Amino acid sequence: MDRKRILVVEDDAAIRRGLVDALGFAGYATLEASEGAAGLAAALTADCDLLLLDLVLPGRDGLTVLREIRAMWSRLPVIVLTARGSEDDRVRGLDLGADDYVVKPFSIKELLARIEAVLRRTPGRPRVVSMLPFEGGQADLDRNEITFDDGGRAELSDRERELLQYLASHAGRAVSRDELLAKVWGLNPAGITTRTIDMHIARLREKLHDDSASPRIVLTVRGQGYMLAVANQGPSG
């Protein structure tokens, strides 16, 4: 079984090292960052299961990082670590979408218990889809190809395969352009204006023989992004 991966964003090197060592001893894989911008980039682009986030960070502070993460990716569990123990600070962090709030100093035993509790109530990472059947054919994502019931076929580029695989792993959920840019392209979407997502979706629809005027496979969810249709779901524009 894959180890859960935790991202630690903490500017105090001694505390960060202690957390990373304790998490590793407890069986977790870890990533780390020492300031806000690097922590945000890692949270958006790395494959992690939970974020431990200090509030007082150089550059972007923890609350700003949390706000931006929630604006771009709502599902990453976040536990805030801070010396700020006032009720207002705790409420603000929770209002911004933190899953839990731990005030320094804390014991490692308490922190591990809170991590386990948050992970228990958080859905696991979506399974990786290798074979995707659809009306009229199927996509073999291990071989980067689409085959049709009439004998036709089309090849997928690596990026098209990654895009289709991500949508398939989140079928039935609208995935924002920012999330796709972060999780498929590996880019921090903050401040980026690009049409590359829409162009790749258009090419993907063409290869799937999915009518762009009335798609039945890769749907547009207005104001939210794109969604791979689940079984028996009707068309959407």
CB 172 within 8 A of CB 227: yes
Q: Which residue has the tokens 């399974």?
A: 127
Banded model confidence at residue 235, pLDDT cuts 50, 70, 90: very low
Give dist(CA 70, CA 143) in Å, integer.
34
What percent of the chain is predicted at pLDDT more than 70? 90
The two three-digit tokens of residue 187, written as one number:
């880019």
Confidence (pLDDT) at 126: 63
Report how far Cα 142 is from the mean position of its chain's Cα atoms: 22
Instruction: Give the number of other Cβ atoms within 10 Å of residue 145's Cβ.
Output: 15
Provide the mean pLDDT of the chain.
87
What percent of the chain is predicted at pLDDT more than 90? 51
Give dist(CA 34, CA 57) in Å, integer.
8
Per-residue pLDDT at 75 exceeds 60: yes
Pairing relationship of beta strands 50-54 and 100-103 according to DSSP bridges: unpaired
Per-residue pLDDT at 170 exceeds 70: yes
Banded model confidence at residue 103, pLDDT cuts 50, 70, 90: confident
**For residue 15, which of 48, 55, 45 has the smallest C-alpha distance?**
55
Give dist(CA 145, CA 142) in Å, integer.
8
Average pLDDT score over residue span 71-95: 76
Q: What is the DSSP string of 180-211?
A: HHHHTS----TT----HHHHHHHHHHHHTT--
Confidence (pLDDT) at 127: 66
Per-residue pLDDT at 236 exceeds 60: no
Per-residue pLDDT at 95 exceeds 50: yes
Tens-digit pLDDT profile for residues 107-135? 999 999 999 999 988 766 666 778 999 98
Confidence (pLDDT) at 163: 94
Average pLDDT score over residue span 150-164: 94
Banded model confidence at residue 234, pLDDT cuts 50, 70, 90: very low
Run of H or E including 32:
strand 29-33
Tens-digit pLDDT profile for residues 79-89? 998 876 666 76
CB 54 within 8 A of CB 81: yes
- Domains along the sequence of the chain with CATH: 5-120 (3.40.50.2300), 131-228 (1.10.10.10)
Run of H or E including 151:
none
Tens-digit pLDDT profile for residues 6-31? 999 999 999 999 999 999 999 999 99
Phi, then psi, of 11 in degrees rounded to 5: -85, -20
Confidence (pLDDT) at 233: 41
Banded model confidence at residue 91, pLDDT cuts 50, 70, 90: confident
Helix axes 196-207, 158-169, angle to 10 degrees: 90
Give dist(CA 6, CA 29) in Å, integer.
6
Q: Which residue has the tokens 């894989």?
A: 29
Residues with Cβ within 8 Å of residue 61, at least 6 apart in sequence:
36, 55
